[in-house]
Amino acid sequence: MADMETALKELMTIDGAIGVALVDYNSGMALGVLGGSKDLDLTVAAAGNTDVVRAKMRTIEMLNLKDGIEDILITLNNQYHLIRPVTGRSGKGLFLYLALLRSRANLALARHQLSRVEDEMEI
């Protein structure tokens, strides 16, 4: 089991990673961030992506789908943004946010690694 800091460091080793955050989607607050840049403020991204997660959860509920979110992909011109809710008991109400450079990232591999880290993470 990896703690939050170890999990974030491991996610930053993914080819093309430019920033990662663990976010509480009830408050919109980032519990931990690593990476980022002057063009990518992870605190702002955490708050904004909280709205994305909440909207999708409301939509699933309104449609009476008996399902959950595995991950959400936002594709920008130069970046991929991956959002993955933490499913373990200790991670209820949290999600991982990973920003990648499209030119360097292997999306399938990044999703696989994000899933593995989420499975192994202990909050």
pLDDT at 60 over 70: yes
How far apart are the C-alpha atoms of 86 and 90, rounded to whole Å?
9
Please report the pLDDT score of residue 91 as a whole number.
Answer: 66
> 96 falls in which pLDDT band (50, 70, 90)?
very high
**Mean pLDDT, the chain, integer:** 92
What band does 27 get if pLDDT is binned at 50, 70 and 90? Answer: very high
Whole-Å CA distances, 3 to 95, 107, 116: 14, 24, 13
The pLDDT of residue 123: 77
Q: What is the Cα–Cα distance from 2 to 60, expressed in whole angstroms? A: 30
- What's the whole-model pTM score? 0.92
pLDDT tens by residue, 61-86: 999 998 989 999 999 999 999 999 99
| Sheet containing 17-24: order of strands | 29-35, 17-24, 94-101, 79-85, 72-75
What's the confidence (pLDDT) of residue 33?
94
